[in-house]
């Protein structure tokens, strides 16, 4: 049982899960809205909230911290210079999840995740 367990494993190894979340975050930063499964969206929400909080200060150290997680120069630059300053006075709640449809192939609940 997963009582008080800290995160969703998403049926992946830790390195695969880390790469998945980084890639989803990069896509979300570039497109500002993506469609994925609900469990992935919920984990991505936690991941993005932490990244935006780190990027909110906008200094060189925040650039480095965000780049260490994403490994994408364009996504890091866009997050630190364009997206994070919009939420500087906000205390969390930077993203929203909207459930959309049931996927036809495996009947999985899908959701849009976007910036507020």
Q: Mean pLDDT in runs of 10 for the chain (116 residues)?
A: 86 97 97 97 97 94 96 96 93 96 96 97
DSSP string, the chain: --TT-SS--TTS-HHHHHHHHHHHHHHHHHHSEEEEEHHHHHHHHHHHHHHHHHHTT-SHHHHHHHHHHH--HHHHHHIIIIIGGGGTT--S--EEEEEEEE-TTT-PEEEEEEE-
pLDDT for residue 17: 97
CATH topology of domain 34-115: 50s Ribosomal Protein L17; Chain: A, (3.90.1030)
Taking the whole predicted model, whether its pTM rises above 0.85 is answered as yes
Sequence ranges of the domains in the chain: 34-115
């Amino acid at each position: 049982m997963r009582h008080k367990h800290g995160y969703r494993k998403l049926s992946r190894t830790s390195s695969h899960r880390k790469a998945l979340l980084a890639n989803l975050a990069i896509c979300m930063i570039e497109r500002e809205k993506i469609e994925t499964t609900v469990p992935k969206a919920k984990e991505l929400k936690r991941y993005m909230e932490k990244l935006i909080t780190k990027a909110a200060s906008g200094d060189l150290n925040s650039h480095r911290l965000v780049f260490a997680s994403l490994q994408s120069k364009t996504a890091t630059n866009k997050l630190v210079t364009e997206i994070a300053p919009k939420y500087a006075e906000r205390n969390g709640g930077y993203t929203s999840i909207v459930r959309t449809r049931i996927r036809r192939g495996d009947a999985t609940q899908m959701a849009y995740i976007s910036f507020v």
